[in-house]
Structure 1
Amino acid sequence: MFPKEAVTEAPAGLGEKGALAINWKNYTSLAGLAVLIAISAIMSPTFLSPFNIVNVATQIAAPGILAVGMTFVILTGGIDLSVGSLLALTGVIVAIAAPVIGWPWAVLLAILLGTVVGMFHGLCITRFKVPPFIVTLAGLSAYKGLALIFTSSASVPLRADFFDYLGAGRLGGTAALLLSAVIAVLMLFNYLSARKKYGTKERTKKSIVTISAMVGTLAFGLLAQEAGGVPIQVLIFVVLFAIAWFALNKTVFGRELYAIGGNPEAARLAGVKVKRGLIIVYATAGFLASIAGLLVATRLGSGTPQVGTLGELDAIAAVVIGGTSLMGGVGTLGGTIIGVILIGILNNLLSLLNITADMQMVFKGAIILGAVMLDAKLSKK
């Protein structure tokens, strides 16, 4: 599903910064991911075991959902520092509300809360001209504080069969393998249907990415089958990613986001409703943060106010490592997924090697700095 993302046309007259540009940074990330997998397999004999690979996939589901929303935000030239705290708050809301109003209404309430909060961010940015950094930085502090206040800094258990299934349920091994085969076929179909739009050199690059994605998907399906199936949380991540990918690459709205990030004023003059687009983007980020919060809470079995700390850091790191420019207008969701997987594997390797959590934070910081420096260097070319 990756290869067609960089060919979406922005409206005429909006510059060359949009999706039509070839983004070499995505391929650099792909090479880095391959190297990291090889290093991990050498340094830890258990890394490539089916159970560990499925565990990595489960661990990256919620951060991956956050990163999808962050990609939309950064593509417009913005930033959202509140998603980690919003993740914690929505998980807490579900845990507190479920015994009172029932789990379906509690889930709906949490998702609605996340969406409304994101919409509020968008309104502050577009109507009151408050910089995204300031608005979401305030949210980072406020939402974490509310989560701690509502729970008195203690975890609130989740009690419902639905939560147990969402946290630990799996799609059977055979069904998982068939699903991975279907996804691989869709990737191939997407590439073949668009290959005529590519030049010879770009077609070669796109074919490499498509083949890599197909091989990775089929390999994961085989490993998941051996491990007993694909976790439901991974399936939710895949579905949300597919919807977001379609919106970004197959709709007018997606083309408008690239235009807004490339040149907001030119986009406005071309008829793009910039303010509406930004509000939708931040509402989407809030919606996805609430889904991620639900997944984390059900996986832990409780609404825990301390979770999500620095979650926005992982999301931003994945997006930047995946090749999305912090200046906006350039980037792909395929690249973001590469970044998410890379960070997930790095976290897993450091854990397998018994590296402390403190040192893991140091590694993440160094990776983000390196990715931003590379982004700045390549942007000048």
Structure 2
Amino acid sequence: MNKTAAPKGVVLWLLTGAFLILLMVIIGGITRLTNSGLSMVEWNVISGTIPPLSEAEWQVVFQKYQQFPEYQKINFSMDLQAFKQIFWWEYLHRLLGRVIGVVFFVPFLLFLGRGYLKGWLLRRVLLILVLGMAQGAMGWLMVKSGLEDNPHVSHFRLAAHLCLALALIGTILWTVADLTAAPSATPKHLPTLRKGSKVVLIAVLGQIILGAFVAGLKAGLYYNTFPLMNGEFFPRLLQETLTWGNFLENGSFVQFLHRWVALVVVVLVLRLWLKSRLAGLPSGTMGLVHLLLALTGVQVALGIVTLLYQVPVALGVLHQLVAVLLFSVALLLVYRFRAAPALQTA
């Protein structure tokens, strides 16, 4: 069986999983921006599926929350009604994680039993399952980091959590491309385009990681002017507080990096787009290049507006969504420009 012989059901299964992970990222963004992520202080994989159903059960959950630093240091005036509002976003986020687990694992057993998953495809699907389990574990480790003395999740763990989501989506999209991509004519300047697409993907991923740092440090609220930071290119206050020991924990510096790495991404995408126009690409591949350029422009505009309006929930989540789409398109272009031969089952 060659790489295109898998049934359409396998492709639909994988794409459904990718969509649910994207939805998970969106809800995760809402959870973070509404400060809901620390409302559930336990990780009960089975029993945690059922939310509180009575007033007594709500009181028990609320009392557990009251034992941790976020309530004691920040939300000490919160009543039960306000707690319910933040609880539901985190509950929905975790519930969707469980749904994703079922959506992946049950069809996996079905397709495996029917002999649809063999060789490279079985190995790839097993990798997806491992990444999914790692994603769930990292989600809890991220929450756990905020249940200690400092009631804020680690921005490093937040970035790792997001990167695992991207790894999942990327692995799924690459697998679907292996299962469905038709051979296409070799364009001119392929080595240059191959290298350029990889550089763009690395730059986009780096910018997304910086964005996760900005989110985790709440650095989007530090300087809400553009293009200068409160009238300065490199603020004096930042110069006074920045050291080699804190440069990745200094919210002002992380925001500075996030602003100007965006410009680097724009330049790299423009360069790839210009070279692609001269390469005689198939229409489908050139369409992806155009989409990459359009998404880059939209993402930069969203980033600026989100900053100027001090990170409202809707704009913050949309900014995160477009980042995932931008990563996905950049990855698919790397796939299109690859030189690897067709995969075989064995």
The TM-score, its normalising length taken from structure 1, stands at: 0.27
Normalising by structure 2, we get a TM-score of: 0.29
Q: Which has the larger radius of gyration?
A: 2
More helix by share: 1
